[in-house]
Amino acid sequence: MATLNKPRVSNDHISSYPQLQSVGDDTKEEDVAPPEFKHTWRIWVVFITLAFLAFIAAIDSTIITTALPTVTQKIGGEGLYVWIANSYLFASTIPQPMYAQVANIFGRRNPLFVAIVLFFVGSAIGGSAHNAATLIAGRVVQGLGSAGLYVLPEIVLCDIIPPRSRGPFLSAILSCAALGSTIGPVIGGALAPVDWRWIFYINLPVVSVLFVALVFILRVKYTRSPTWRAALARVDFVGMALFIPSMVALFFGLITGGNQAAGYPWNSPRIIVPLVLGVLGWIAFHIYESTPMCREPSMPPRLFKHRTSAMGYLIIFLASIVFQGISYFLPIYFQAVKGASPLLSGVDYLPFTVGLVPLAGLSGAFLSKTGQYKPVHWAGFALGAVGVGLFSMLNESSSRGSWVGFQLIAAAGSGFIFTVTLPSTLAPLLESDVAVATGTYSFVRTFGLVWGVTISSIVFNNEVDSHLGSISDPSVRKLLSDGAAYTFASGPNSVGSLPEPTKIFVGVSALGFFATFVEKHVPLRKDASSEFGLADSKTTDNQS
């Protein structure tokens, strides 16, 4: 069994090359030819199935947004819409590091099956709900399943595909998730008038087919613990007891702070106290993870010791902020400035999401061909800064060609970063750290999305407050003041302004660009050497 607490050593990426260690320290990487990686039919089927799972999970992260008025009208709970919308986000984000550690202990297959079952059960509960409390419960269960569907497919792909070849596969997973989150509101808006329950029921047959496919095709190796007691002893229960409530408190403060519907301004003790407790709990969690008391950390400190990995986490965090800022402001622009309906604004936003697919694939292909990720990081943040900066030029008379072209530039920036950052983050780490490193990466990425929403709402509402004097109607000024502006962004008397907010995200992109210079290039291996790789169909021992 691999020891996850193995101390780090300098030039540790060479430790994953058993061929290099056996022939002496003077042997160069290029002098030893690794076994050629082959894209077998099993790999393709596993990949396609995992991509569909990522697509379905992403759809459900946004499908409720346009259908929420219809849903609350049918079953009540208008005052709870914040929790109906965000309970899924809480549940799908916070458990991601725990899923990753459990995957190291019980193999990749069993936790993935648990995640699929939870997603199925949550969808069934949500679809059959007759009150808001049941719907929220269903969304929580569904989110707990989605947490595994967000992180485990990437872990499995990293197990069966060598680092040098991961780019195109990860870009495809990213593209499926991005496309799913974009068309989610469109699907929700289309299903809600017919029967809103099918927003959830539609998952049941699709997930069932994917589950059956994985039962037969996903057979992966892993080293079993001798007993259940030994396996459970490896789970970081204390760390999760610190981490989960801290993140719940922190997310609560970030999501509900300044939210007019929740009734909690930023200076309210109901916001300040959770934020403070969340930060203190998070610090306590990392302190515990670094002590000998934690036998097998779910987020080991060694993940952040190599500068390339540490910068990888920072880069994806910053890129996620920019990505969510774009996703936040463009619909406002289309609705508040161009006068588009919510449904049509989703269509107008498609160039950004659809542009991610080929552009992310291009960067993945470049990574596989050259093994170079730093140039892609530079180009990604440079294009991101330019694209976001160009958004500041948009106004009510901007042509379709302008906002489509600007979206494609920004899409290139996001696609480049999101595709190549996970391989670069994993490059200096041991293969035995793939799961916990990927779980941490997935959490940091989602945490950046939450910060993107928070920063966007603060900047937008403050910008509107500074221009309220230009509105002559006192009733409209009252509706838009004190953090309520975003709620009324699509109203007839709304304020639509992009220049100041977009400057914030230009700065974030610039910070990410400079962070890439701290990275140190680490060669990406061309062979897959994970102990969790695909098992031979004839093998029965030590497999999930």
CA–CA gap between residue 508 and residue 448 (Å, rounded): 11
User: Same fold for the domain at 39-230 and the one at 307-521?
Assistant: yes
Three-state DSSP at 543 gives strand
Copy the structure tokens of residue 170: 């990860």
Q: Measured between alpha carbons, how far is residue 4 from residues 1, 105, 363, 480, 531 in Å?
A: 9, 10, 31, 52, 13
Residue 220 β-bridge partners: 534
Indicate if the alpha-carbon torsion angle 341, 344, 346, 349 is positive or negative. negative
Predicted confidence (pLDDT) per residue in 36-90, tens digit: 666 778 888 888 999 999 899 888 887 887 777 778 778 876 667 667 777 888 8
pLDDT for the residue 427: 82
The count of C-alpha atoms lying within 13 angstroms of the C-alpha of 6, restricted to the half-sphere facing its C-beta, is: 13
CB 82 within 8 A of CB 261: yes
Three-state DSSP at 291 gives coil
The amino acid at 172: A
CA–CA gap between residue 422 and residue 521 (Å, rounded): 14
Residue whose pair of structure tokens reads 């093994």 in the numeric block: 371
CB 443 within 8 A of CB 96: yes
Residue 361 β-bridge partners: none
Q: Under CATH, to which class is 39-230 assigned?
A: mainly alpha
pLDDT for the residue 16: 37
Copy the structure tokens of residue 265: 């301004």
Residue 534 β-bridge partners: 220
CB contact set of 403 (below 8 Å; sequence gap of 6+):
333, 348, 351, 394
pLDDT for the residue 525: 61
CB 180 within 8 A of CB 55: yes
CB contact set of 480 (below 8 Å; sequence gap of 6+):
464, 465, 468, 471, 488, 494, 495
Domain ranges across the chain? 39-230, 237-295, 307-521
pLDDT for the residue 2: 38
Say if residue 15 is exposed, middle or buried (CB neighbours under 10 Å; 0-12, 13-18, 19+).
middle
Residue whose pair of structure tokens reads 């990213």 in the numeric block: 174
CA–CA gap between residue 101 and residue 152 (Å, rounded): 11
CA–CA gap between residue 443 and residue 456 (Å, rounded): 20
Copy the structure tokens of residue 421: 């950052």
Copy the structure tokens of residue 42: 């099993």
Copy the structure tokens of residue 242: 């610190």
Three-state DSSP at 511 gives helix
pLDDT for the residue 114: 94
3-state secondary structure 197-257: CHHHHCHHHHHHHHHHHHHHHCCEECCCCCCHHHHHHHCCHHHHHHHHHHHHHHHHHHHHC
CB 145 within 8 A of CB 119: yes
Indicate if the alpha-carbon torsion angle 372, 375, 378, 382 is positive or negative. negative
Q: What is the mean pLDDT of each run of 10 residues along the chain (544 residues)?
A: 37 36 38 58 88 89 77 75 78 89 87 94 93 91 92 86 78 80 79 86 93 87 79 89 92 75 72 92 94 90 88 90 81 76 74 80 80 85 87 84 90 85 84 85 87 74 65 60 54 44 68 72 61 52 45
pLDDT for the residue 392: 81
CB 341 within 8 A of CB 335: yes
**Residue 177: what are its φ and ψ, rounded to 5°?**
-65, -45
Alpha helices in 237-349 (DSSP H): 237-256, 269-289, 307-332, 342-348
Give 307-521's CATH code, choosing from 3.30.160.20, 3.10.129.10, 1.10.10.10, 1.20.1250.20: 1.20.1250.20
3-state secondary structure 69-85: HHHHHHHCCHHHHHHHH
Angle between helices 400-426 and 350-370 (to 10 degrees): 40
pLDDT for the residue 476: 58
CB contact set of 479 (below 8 Å; sequence gap of 6+):
488, 491, 493
Copy the structure tokens of residue 211: 């589950």
pTM for the whole structure: 0.77
pLDDT for the residue 116: 95
Indicate if the alpha-carbon torsion angle 389, 391, 397, 399 is positive or negative. positive
Q: Measured between alpha carbons, how far is residue 58 from residues 179, 185, 266, 270, 409 in Å?
A: 8, 11, 29, 30, 23
Copy the structure tokens of residue 165: 């070849």
Angle between helices 166-195 and 132-160 (to 10 degrees): 160
Copy the structure tokens of residue 228: 């259940």
CA–CA gap between residue 473 and residue 405 (Å, rounded): 36
